[in-house]
Amino acid sequence: MPQPLSRPILAVGGFIRSRGQSFQHAFAGWYYVLRTQRNAWIHAVATACVVALAAWLKLNLRDWTELIIVVAMVWTAEFINTALEAVVDLASPQRHPLARVGKDVGAAAVLIAAGAAALTGLLVLGPPLWSRLQGWFGH
Protein backbone atom coordinates (compact mmCIF):
# COMPACT_ATOMS: atom_id res chain seq x y z
CA MET A 1 0.00 0.00 0.00
CA PRO A 2 1.45 3.42 -0.92
CA GLN A 3 2.59 5.61 1.94
CA PRO A 4 0.92 9.01 2.43
CA LEU A 5 2.99 11.93 1.26
CA SER A 6 4.73 13.60 4.18
CA ARG A 7 5.79 16.65 2.17
CA PRO A 8 3.07 17.45 -0.34
CA ILE A 9 4.80 20.57 -1.68
CA LEU A 10 7.90 18.57 -2.63
CA ALA A 11 5.69 15.83 -4.05
CA VAL A 12 3.95 18.38 -6.27
CA GLY A 13 7.32 19.76 -7.35
CA GLY A 14 8.54 16.25 -8.13
CA PHE A 15 5.37 15.57 -10.08
CA ILE A 16 5.80 18.74 -12.13
CA ARG A 17 9.47 17.96 -12.75
CA SER A 18 8.64 14.41 -13.89
CA ARG A 19 5.91 15.74 -16.25
CA GLY A 20 8.46 18.15 -17.69
CA GLN A 21 10.86 15.27 -18.25
CA SER A 22 8.08 13.29 -19.92
CA PHE A 23 7.52 16.15 -22.35
CA GLN A 24 11.27 16.34 -23.01
CA HIS A 25 11.31 12.63 -23.88
CA ALA A 26 8.27 13.02 -26.11
CA PHE A 27 9.82 15.94 -28.00
CA ALA A 28 13.08 14.00 -28.32
CA GLY A 29 11.09 11.17 -29.93
CA TRP A 30 9.36 13.63 -32.23
CA TYR A 31 12.71 15.11 -33.25
CA TYR A 32 14.11 11.60 -33.82
CA VAL A 33 11.26 10.72 -36.19
CA LEU A 34 11.63 13.94 -38.16
CA ARG A 35 15.40 13.56 -38.32
CA THR A 36 15.53 9.90 -39.35
CA GLN A 37 12.33 8.96 -41.18
CA ARG A 38 12.03 10.09 -44.80
CA ASN A 39 8.30 9.39 -44.85
CA ALA A 40 7.82 11.76 -41.92
CA TRP A 41 8.80 14.60 -44.24
CA ILE A 42 6.17 13.47 -46.73
CA HIS A 43 3.63 13.53 -43.90
CA ALA A 44 4.86 16.99 -42.86
CA VAL A 45 4.46 18.41 -46.37
CA ALA A 46 1.03 16.78 -46.74
CA THR A 47 -0.03 18.14 -43.34
CA ALA A 48 1.11 21.66 -44.25
CA CYS A 49 -0.74 21.49 -47.59
CA VAL A 50 -3.94 20.23 -45.96
CA VAL A 51 -3.85 22.92 -43.26
CA ALA A 52 -3.15 25.67 -45.82
CA LEU A 53 -5.91 24.47 -48.16
CA ALA A 54 -8.40 24.08 -45.31
CA ALA A 55 -7.62 27.61 -44.10
CA TRP A 56 -7.93 29.01 -47.63
CA LEU A 57 -11.29 27.27 -48.08
CA LYS A 58 -12.44 28.56 -44.66
CA LEU A 59 -13.70 25.17 -43.59
CA ASN A 60 -16.21 24.86 -40.78
CA LEU A 61 -15.33 23.47 -37.34
CA ARG A 62 -16.61 19.97 -38.08
CA ASP A 63 -14.50 19.66 -41.22
CA TRP A 64 -11.44 20.91 -39.35
CA THR A 65 -12.12 18.31 -36.66
CA GLU A 66 -12.24 15.50 -39.22
CA LEU A 67 -8.98 16.64 -40.82
CA ILE A 68 -7.23 16.99 -37.45
CA ILE A 69 -8.27 13.47 -36.47
CA VAL A 70 -6.98 11.84 -39.66
CA VAL A 71 -3.75 13.86 -39.68
CA ALA A 72 -3.15 12.83 -36.07
CA MET A 73 -3.93 9.22 -37.01
CA VAL A 74 -1.26 9.23 -39.73
CA TRP A 75 1.36 10.83 -37.48
CA THR A 76 0.53 8.43 -34.65
CA ALA A 77 0.87 5.43 -36.97
CA GLU A 78 4.23 6.76 -38.25
CA PHE A 79 5.53 7.28 -34.70
CA ILE A 80 4.38 3.83 -33.55
CA ASN A 81 5.90 2.26 -36.67
CA THR A 82 9.22 3.98 -35.99
CA ALA A 83 9.18 2.77 -32.38
CA LEU A 84 8.31 -0.75 -33.52
CA GLU A 85 11.19 -0.77 -36.01
CA ALA A 86 13.63 0.36 -33.32
CA VAL A 87 12.47 -2.32 -30.88
CA VAL A 88 12.60 -5.02 -33.56
CA ASP A 89 16.14 -3.95 -34.52
CA LEU A 90 17.16 -4.09 -30.86
CA ALA A 91 15.58 -7.50 -30.25
CA SER A 92 16.69 -9.03 -33.53
CA PRO A 93 19.84 -7.38 -34.92
CA GLN A 94 20.23 -10.23 -37.42
CA ARG A 95 17.66 -10.82 -40.14
CA HIS A 96 14.73 -12.92 -39.02
CA PRO A 97 11.45 -13.65 -40.84
CA LEU A 98 9.36 -12.58 -37.84
CA ALA A 99 11.30 -9.34 -37.52
CA ARG A 100 10.42 -8.62 -41.14
CA VAL A 101 6.75 -9.42 -40.45
CA GLY A 102 6.71 -6.97 -37.54
CA LYS A 103 8.22 -4.21 -39.65
CA ASP A 104 5.97 -4.92 -42.63
CA VAL A 105 2.82 -4.89 -40.50
CA GLY A 106 3.88 -1.60 -38.90
CA ALA A 107 4.41 -0.11 -42.35
CA ALA A 108 1.01 -1.42 -43.44
CA ALA A 109 -0.59 0.40 -40.50
CA VAL A 110 0.91 3.67 -41.73
CA LEU A 111 -0.29 2.92 -45.26
CA ILE A 112 -3.85 2.26 -44.03
CA ALA A 113 -3.85 5.48 -41.99
CA ALA A 114 -2.48 7.51 -44.89
CA GLY A 115 -5.02 6.02 -47.30
CA ALA A 116 -7.89 6.79 -44.95
CA ALA A 117 -6.55 10.32 -44.48
CA ALA A 118 -6.28 10.84 -48.24
CA LEU A 119 -9.86 9.67 -48.79
CA THR A 120 -11.09 11.84 -45.92
CA GLY A 121 -9.18 14.78 -47.35
CA LEU A 122 -10.83 14.28 -50.74
CA LEU A 123 -14.29 14.04 -49.17
CA VAL A 124 -13.80 17.06 -46.91
CA LEU A 125 -11.71 19.32 -49.14
CA GLY A 126 -12.95 18.21 -52.56
CA PRO A 127 -16.44 19.76 -52.70
CA PRO A 128 -15.48 23.24 -51.41
CA LEU A 129 -12.37 23.25 -53.59
CA TRP A 130 -14.42 22.25 -56.64
CA SER A 131 -16.91 25.04 -55.89
CA ARG A 132 -14.12 27.58 -55.55
CA LEU A 133 -12.49 26.47 -58.79
CA GLN A 134 -15.82 26.55 -60.66
CA GLY A 135 -16.34 30.10 -59.45
CA TRP A 136 -12.98 31.11 -60.88
CA PHE A 137 -13.60 29.55 -64.27
CA GLY A 138 -17.22 30.74 -64.60
CA HIS A 139 -18.96 27.38 -64.59
Catalytic residues, by residue number, are: 78
Nearest residue to 21 (alpha-carbon basis) of 78, 90, 29, 4: 29
Distance, CA of 108 to CA of 115 (rounded, Å)? 10
Smallest Cα–Cα separation from 65: which of 124, 17, 24, 6? 124
Question: Which whole-number Å values give the CA distances from 82 to 33, 35, 55, 72, 134, in the listed order?
Answer: 7, 12, 30, 15, 42
